[in-house]
Amino acid sequence: GNSVTQMEGPVTLSEEAFLTINCTYTATGYPSLFWYVQYPGEGLQLLLKATKADDKGSNKGFEATYRKETTSFHLEKGSVQVSDSAVYFCALSDLPGGSYIPTFGRGTSLIVHP
Amino acid sequence: DTGVSQDPRHKITKRGQNVTFRCDPISEHNRLYWYRQTLGQGPEFLTYFQNEAQLEKSRLLSDRFSAERPKGSFSTLEIQRTEQGDSAMYLCASSHFGSFQETQYFGPGTRLLVL
């Protein structure tokens, strides 16, 4: 079956530090990959996505590249801000034209200090 | 469009009571999903609708849970005889099935606490 593994948190960084949150996946088909962000007390917001191998998703300074050879979709940001403090979820969906039921990772908490 | 909305945002109830949550999807979206999220976990799929038809239900969805989407627009999720283990965030999401890159958009969630 499908699964998503994220690095455990919390990840604690100082403002302007470089961020990497690792995500690897297992899927039977050719999934689409997503990163969602959840700010305290709120629902999930789509941060970025990639639908095929070697695609790079990017948004708000975050980016992630779909690596089929390593089954990875690591999230990166060159310079984090305090406002980036949130929980980040990696997710995949298989069968984009069929039964779209995404599989989420457990989430990685990011804490950014001034 | 203002996105997916959910009501109420918070609900505290006593064990054994029934609760009902509402979700209003993005207006042009034909698919609507319900998830449950517990602390420290990612969302877990409960059920989804395409228009008014409920197409799939997770084994997580016990007989005490029922969901409806009577007119293919808003949806309700009811939990009967609540238990403390039902305490969680209940998330709703919607999407447009038929677009090549189907993406789900989530509401803010309803946080349920069962005492």
The pLDDT, as a whole number, for residue B99 is 62
Q: From the DSSP assignment, how many helices (H) and strands (E) are in chain B?
A: 0, 11
CA-nearest of A95, A113, A110, A103 to A21 is: A110
The answer, yes or no, to whether residue A97 has pLDDT greater than 50, is: no
Q: Write out chain B residues lying below 8 Å of A105, CB-based.
A: 42
A65-79 pLDDT, tens digit per residue, is 999 999 999 999 999
A52 touches chain B (CB under 8 A): no
Angle at A63 between CA B34 and CA A65, to 5 degrees: 90
Query: What residues of A are in contact with residue B101 (Cβ under 8 Å)?
Result: 32, 49, 51, 96
Collapsed DSSP state (helix, strand, coil) of residue B2:
coil
Which positions of chain B have pLDDT values less than 70? 1, 99-101
The larger pLDDT score, comparing residue A63 to residue A100, is at A63
B105: chain A residues, CB-CB within 8 Å: 46
Instruction: Establish if A57 touches chain B: CB-CB under 8 angstroms.
Output: no
Amino acid at B84: Q
What percent of chain A is modeled with pLDDT above 70?
Answer: 95
* pLDDT given for residue A99 in this prediction: 55
- Distance between CA atoms of residues A48 and A34, nearest Å: 6
Poorest-pLDDT segment among A20-24, A41-45, A66-70 = A41-45
State chain A's mean pLDDT as an integer.
Answer: 91
How many CA atoms within 13 Å lie on the side-chain side of A112? 18
Q: Inform me whether the pLDDT recorded for A107 exceeds 90.
A: yes
State the pLDDT at residue A102. Answer: 84
- At residue A53, does pLDDT exceed 70? yes
Do residue B43 and residue A96 have CB atoms under 8 angstroms apart? no
Percent of chain A with pLDDT over 90: 71
pLDDT digits (tens, 9 = 90+) for B43-73: 999 999 999 999 888 887 889 999 999 988 9
